[in-house]
Each structure stands twice: as C-alpha cells, then as structure tokens.
Amino acid sequence: MPIILGVDPGSRITGYGIIRVDGRQTEYLDSGCIRVGQKPMAERLQTIFQSLALLIGEYRPEEFAIEQVFMARNPDSALKLGQARGAAIVSAANSGLAVHEYSARQVKQAVVGTGGADKSQVQHMVQALLGLSRKPQEDAADALAIALCHAHMNQSTLKLAGVGGKVRGGRVRRQ
C-alpha cells in the first residue's frame, strides 16, 4: 500500500496532497498548503523544504510526485517557481525518495480526461475520485491531482509490464 506525496510547487503557496493506494482503491490521507507569504526568497525556500520534510517524516511516503516547471511569460516568476521546485525536490531526495515529474497536461489528462482542463474541473474530479465532502483548495487539489496522476501512471506501467504475465498483441497472458 504505497503512500504518495504529490506537490504543486509555488514561490508563495506550495500545495501538497497525500494519498494511499491499494490496488484500485485510493484513500485520501491529507492535503493543504504551505504558505510562505512575503518573506525573503531564502526563507520561503527554507520553509518549503522544512515543511515537506515534516510531512515526509509524519506520513512516510514511498513515492514523491511533483509538477514539472512550465514556461511562464514572466522569466522572474519562472525562476522563483524553479527554486521552489528545487527546495521540494531536495526535501524528497534527502529522505531517500525517488522524484517523479509530470507536466500539467499529463496531470489534467489523468484526472479529468483532458489536458486542457481548468482548475475548477480538477478540483471537482479530485473531490469525486477521493470521495471528499468538499472541494479542496486549488493548490491542494492540484497536489492531490499530481499524486493521483502518479498512482495512475504506476498502474499503467504495471499493466504494460504484465505483472506476472507476458504482453502479446496488446493483451496480458497469465502464466
């Protein structure tokens, strides 16, 4: 039953989502936002790093998934986003977790079914897929979507590998 920590990095708000996957069953564990506000950049990065380290220590995830950087129109924003991603990735790597990266399009495709989905559609589908009583905050929903995307990709990889069988003509033959 792997626990997956999904992270939606941001220089002011970093979303996180934690799920447990058991076969086809997915269980919501926790989600939220690391809010760093207007602090100097070095302090923001330290807060992201330390907050994720605390979450990793508490939940002991086996998997870590993060959204890939996208090219923003503003180069300064892209650099800050990259630094926030770096702090999150180092926090995971320091804990011995492999880092899995997914594009925003991949995440939306896996959760909503279309790579062009908007944030409200992602929130709605995360709520539905995890059986939540209310929609999570946008950044937390994005992080949960990243974790769900990783879970989906892992299941797809296992299917392609045949998990104990051989793949022939697009079908798995059990041995």
pLDDT tens, 14-61? 999 999 999 889 999 999 999 998 999 999 999 999 999 999 999 999
Q: Class for domain 3-163, per CATH?
A: alpha beta
Boundaries of every domain in the chain = 3-163
- Whole-angstrom CA distances from 18 to 71, 134, 147 are 26, 16, 7
- Whole-angstrom CA distances from 60 to 22, 44, 153, 168 are 16, 23, 21, 37
DSSP helix/strand/coil, 69: coil
C-alpha closest to that of 6 among 22, 21, 14, 17? 17
pTM for the model stands at 0.87
Q: Is 142 annotated as a binding residue?
A: no
Contact 108, 146 (CB under 8 A): no
Q: Is 30 annotated as a binding residue?
A: no
As annotated, the active-site residues are 8, 67, 139
How far apart are alpha carbons 64 and 25 in whole angstroms?
A: 18
